[in-house]
């Protein structure tokens, strides 16, 4: 993926850690989980058997953010249920014959996509208005500022430790780069290595004496492969 983005000149921007609000997929997961909970009941091992029906329902439902269903915006028509194909096959074939009317069809789809974009933008403005009513102004961090980073409970615990006894914030860390108005890259103050991208809601200005972090964050990712010495040597009994 990185090579493809580099060749095509795409600037790939990843979402900050521990901030699912910026990932649109999490909105779908929020709708998916309660529907699975309703259908599985007490038999939790059968959750995968209900994915097809839930997917059909989610793709056919009209969303408030666009005013249309995801299936209609993708395929230009609503999805058909199995009963539609069995009971009225001739009507389906006649409705699919859009060759004589391809120009009006394309004009209608262009108008539909434009209307969906306008509805989506209006809803974004409304959502931002309500979100800003309860939002605190984040400090204006600059490159080189020292900040404390919020710990993430169980994700920062080791064996024999309890998340409730771990400090709620750790650091300080230094801001290496301003990615956006709300996202910052952090680095360690001792080695200068990249720690990761974090949202401003997880940061707190550092005030006090500089010390090493108690539980220093490390950059996520697969560890480098370390060659094993004499890996090809036969084992002598």
128 and 201 in one domain?
A: no
Give a yes or no: residue 220 inside a domain.
no
30 and 126 in one domain?
A: yes
CA-nearest of 12, 10, 13 to 22 is 13
122 and 17 in one domain?
A: yes
175 and 107 in one domain?
A: no
User: 197: domain CATH number?
Assistant: 2.30.30
Give a yes or no: residue 56 inside a domain.
yes
Query: Can you give the residue range of the structural domain that contains 167?
Result: 146-205
Domain count across the chain:
2
**Does residue 215 contact residue 151 with C-beta atoms inside 8 Å?**
yes
Choose the weakest-confidence range: 50-64, 75-89, 173-187, 202-216: 75-89
**One-character DSSP codes across 50-66:** GHHHHHHHHHHSPPTTT
pLDDT at residue 163 tops 50:
yes
End-to-end CA distance of the chain: 46
96 and 13 in one domain?
A: yes
Q: What are the pLDDT digits (tens) for 59-84?
A: 888 888 888 888 888 888 888 777 77
């Amino acid at each position: 993926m990185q090579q493809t983005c580099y060749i095509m000149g795409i600037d790939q921007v990843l979402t900050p850690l521990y901030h699912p609000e910026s990932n649109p997929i999490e909105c779908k997961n929020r709708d998916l989980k309660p529907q699975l909970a309703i259908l599985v009941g007490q038999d939790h091992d059968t959750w995968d058997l209900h994915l097809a029906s839930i997917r059909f329902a989610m793709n056919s439902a009209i969303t408030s953010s666009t005013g249309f269903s995801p299936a209609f915006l993708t395929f230009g028509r609503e999805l058909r249920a199995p009963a539609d194909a069995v009971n009225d096959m001739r009507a389906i074939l006649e409705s699919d014959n859009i060759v004589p009317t391809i120009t009006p069809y394309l004009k209608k789809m262009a108008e539909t996509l434009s209307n969906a974009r306008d509805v989506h933008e209006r809803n974004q403005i409304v959502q931002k208005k309500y979100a800003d009513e309860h939002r605190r102004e984040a400090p204006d961090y600059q490159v080189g500022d020292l900040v404390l980073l919020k710990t993430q409970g169980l994700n920062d615990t080791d064996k024999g430790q309890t998340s409730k006894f771990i400090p709620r914030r750790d650091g300080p860390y230094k801001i290496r780069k301003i990615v956006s108005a709300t996202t910052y890259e952090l680095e360690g103050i001792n080695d200068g290595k990249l720690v990761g991208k974090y949202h401003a809601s997880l940061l707190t200005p550092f005030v006090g004496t500089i010390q090493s972090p108690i539980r220093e964050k490390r950059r996520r990712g697969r560890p480098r492969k370390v060659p094993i010495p004499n890996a090809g040597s036969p084992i002598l009994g």
